[in-house]
Amino acid sequence: MWRERTFLERQVEKAFYTSGKALKELRDRRLYRSTHSTFEEYCRDRFGFTHRHVNYLIAGSLVVGNIIGTNGSQIEILDEMGTNGSQIEIPDEMGTNGSQMLPTSERQVRPLVPLKPEEQRSCWQQAVEAAGGKVPSGRVVKDIVDKIRERTKLPNPYRLGEVCKIIPKDNPELKGKSGCWGIITQVGQYSCTITVWDGEYTVKIDNLKSLNYFEADCEYMLTLCQRMRRLHLVGNLDASVGWLLSGLGKSPQPYLTQVQEKFLAVAEGEYGLDSP
């Protein structure tokens, strides 16, 4: 197991597709548990990766797997292992696959993440054509996705329970909410209801950005949001509690530090609320 982990860690230090596949393998097989209790701590200590960056890499590698027509799970670890261990796919770096133009950075495929596999492949090919047969930028890919969504009325990419960040753009009703995170509690055709610590807002999908959290992280953030709303609804809060809630409401990491948890628990106790 240790030799497999070492081999995979070397892959993480390569380009994004290889990195994402190796990170997924390390996470799914929990190879980080020999030194760390959580995958997030392991990635931060070992590679200097934030939780969000890890999610982007893993999601991007899955998109590339769909583009090249493979789920990326069937290549044996032989070269450095010397044994027929578990199987993962770690191909050559991206750029071309025969005559097929492939992504070279995670940002180029990020707009494709919410789409179905066949839609990802179609959008990517159209983006390559729009870029004159070259590797398209993330902006070109996003433009293709937006045009297809308008033409075919692709479904709302967000789901119930997903954690998203509010992006006000030119919406005056969202003034002061830039960067606030919340939980999607209702999904419409072109909009979502998002619950944040101090209320609910119905916003267009263009005013949201998914934080791409794992399912367990979404559940944790839902519990945290409920704790913060419960405290907010007490009313007549000390100004310092308002500052705490406001700060936590714009803090996107899917966990509380020990100090943050202690401050929140103290505030809950002050107003007769039991922390979970």
Tens-digit pLDDT profile for residues 84-131 = 333 333 344 444 444 568 888 899 999 998 888 888 999 999 999 999
Co-location of 135 and 169 in the same domain: no
Co-location of 163 and 263 in the same domain: yes
Rounded CA separation 29/255 (Å) = 22
Give the pLDDT of residue 73: 38
Q: Last residue of some domain: 118, 152, 186? A: 152
Co-location of 26 and 139 in the same domain: yes
- How many folded domains does the chain comprise? 2
Give the pLDDT of residue 205: 87
Give the pLDDT of residue 79: 33
Give the pLDDT of residue 264: 96
Co-location of 102 and 47 in the same domain: yes
Give the pLDDT of residue 93: 44
Give the pLDDT of residue 206: 84
Q: Which parts of the chain register pLDDT below 70?
A: 1-2, 5-14, 70-100, 152-154, 275-276
Q: Last residue of some domain: 129, 152, 175? A: 152
Name the region of 12 (left: φ>0; alpha: ψ -120 to 50; beta: rest).
alpha
Give the pLDDT of residue 69: 77
Co-location of 85 and 218 in the same domain: no
Helix axes 215-232, 239-248, angle to 10 degrees: 160
Co-location of 115 and 222 in the same domain: no
Range of the domain at 259: 157-276
Residue 146, H or E segment: helix 138-152
Co-location of 122 and 172 in the same domain: no
- For CA atoms 56, 61, 67, 73, the dihedral sign is negative
Co-location of 258 and 134 in the same domain: no
Q: Last residue of some domain: 152, 171, 188? A: 152
Give the pLDDT of residue 123: 92
Co-location of 15 and 120 in the same domain: yes
Give the pLDDT of residue 194: 96
Give the pLDDT of residue 256: 92
Rounded CA separation 74/91 (Å) = 11
Output phi, psi for 218, to 5 deg.
-60, -40
